[in-house]
Structure 1
Amino acid sequence: MFRFTERAEWFTELHDEDGAPIDGHLQAELIRRMTAPTGVPAELDDEIRAAWLRRDLDPALHRASYLAVLRASGLAVPGHAESLYERVLAAESWDAYPDTVSALTLLAERGIAIGIVSNIAFDLRAVFARHGIDHLVDVWALSHEVGITKPDAGIFRFATDHLDVDPSRTLMIGDSEEADGGARGIGCSFALVEPLPVPDRPRALLDALTAAHIA
């Protein structure tokens, strides 16, 4: 529904320990590491690895593990990793896909219950509020609030229970087969959308609803 999108100006004052600017290749790698939904960076020590595996359950672990990854990836100058990390938490850093508002509006107008299930360690409601659609969401199943992460069936069960809907009549749309596909474990249908740049995915959500005979 949203994508964390980097801005060139974020990197203008960042540099490596030798004073060299952060080049485009490293910028792309830093953003990839900050947004990859699964996997564990190889360079983490045991303590940070444990924090990484639980990062979406606790804001403090999220911060510690991401700062470690950013520093190991080239942002070793004091304050630079923190500067980029804070961008992740800012609602204005998350761009809506072109059909996000229309898809949620369509569902709400048809009286179809909407739940957001997300592995995330900060309050995603602010991102939705920035686009004026937070009021359309009936249930928020955010991992750091629920205490469970995808693909564990428990987080999907939390959502369907609080929506008071039958999982067999529920469609989960997500961009990770590994994480979001876990909804199948409780009997939900699942539609995979690709995590493409915002301009390159104009109507994947609406297409998923159409394929499920909802739109």
Structure 2
Amino acid sequence: MTIRAVMFDFSGTLFRLEQHESWLAHLTDAGGEPLDVEAQAELMRRMTAPTGKVVELSDEYQYAWENRDLDPALHRKIYLEVLRRSGVPKLEQAEALYGRLIDPDEWTPYPDTEAVLKSCAGKGLKVGVLSNIAFDIRPAFADRGLDQYVDAFLLSFEEGVIKPDPAVFRLLLDRLGHAPEETLMVGDSAEADGGAAALGCPFALVDPLPTTDRPDALLVALRTHGVL
């Protein structure tokens, strides 16, 4: 069946939270020593992992982790705890880093994000962005002029449902006005984004590599599925 709409994940798919030296230069461990490069890289991985457990958690914090993308307060609570357990003991340091995480302007688009969104819109395809997330990502698109190519955004914290629940995909499909069989889902998590396949959506998996290491994965994914 001809693809008439495309749903994209946000983090690790269209945009990525890239590590900037200035963010982490001030971080110190419990002994006051600067975090080494490996520790800094692991921090960034834990802050952007779409699924799975990144640290051992008590029942209270496990609940917050599992529901973080439904409630901004839980999101803040659990990520400050993750940072604490990852070697950032000072609250003010953790809060500064967390502020970067939830600032949409700190996220970097992949090199082919604009080309893919513009091409889809130019071909008359409906475009949706669907994300398990607890903050508003729309400014990341609007500030770069990319929102004009997106027909609908669906954010988990606004809807009270998260991927891979089929209900969240169904909500966006209804807003785009197309059947699952004619709507491609593109994401970086086979577990979360791949949930669209339960409704019959074709699915394209991309690797959440640094933006400099992934110049054209979105273009390749859409060409593979005959979209572009």
Which position in structure 1 is the counterpart of 2:159? 146
Which position in structure 2 is the counterpart of 1:205? 218
Which position in structure 2 is the counterpart of 1:109? 122
Give the alignment's TM-score, normalised by structure 2. Answer: 0.92
Match status 1:120 vs 2:127? no
Match status 1:93 vs 2:106? yes
- The Cα offsets for residues 109-138 of structure 1, whole Å up to 9 and x where unpaired, read as 111000111100000101111221012111
Structure 2 distance, partners of 1:189, 1:78, is 43
Structure 2 distance, partners of 1:152, 1:190, is 15
Which position in structure 2 is the counterpart of 1:177? 190
Displacement after TM superposition at 1:41 (Å): 3.1
Report the number of matched residues: 215
Structure 1 segments, 4+ long, off by >6 Å, are none
Match status 1:31 vs 2:44? yes
Match status 1:168 vs 2:181? yes
Displacement after TM superposition at 1:57 (Å): 0.4
Structure 2 distance, partners of 1:158, 1:13, is 42
For CA contacts below 8 A with separation 6 or more, give which structure has more relative contact order: 2
Structure 2 distance, partners of 1:92, 1:189, is 31
Displacement after TM superposition at 1:17 (Å): 2.0
38, 55, 61: which one aligns with 2:74: 61
Whichever structure has more helix as a proportion of its residues is 1
67, 80, 84: which one aligns with 1:71: 84
Structure 2 distance, partners of 1:23, 1:61, is 29
Structure 1 distance, partners of 2:220, 2:214, is 11
Match status 1:20 vs 2:33? yes
Structure 2 distance, partners of 1:156, 1:188, is 9
Match status 1:80 vs 2:93? yes
Equivalent pair of 2:105/2:139 in contact (CA under 8 Å): no
- Which 5+ residue runs of structure 1 have no aligned equivalent? none
176, 191, 198: which one aligns with 2:204: 191
SS of the residue 2:29 aligns to: coil
CA RMSD between the two structures: 0.9
Equivalent position amino acid for 1:202 in 2: P
Match status 1:156 vs 2:173? no
Equivalent pair of 2:69/2:75 in contact (CA under 8 Å): yes
Greater alpha carbon shift after TM alignment, 38-47 vs 161-170 = 38-47
Give the alignment's TM-score, normalised by structure 1. Answer: 0.97
48, 57, 60: which one aligns with 2:61: 48
Which position in structure 1 is the counterpart of 2:19? 6
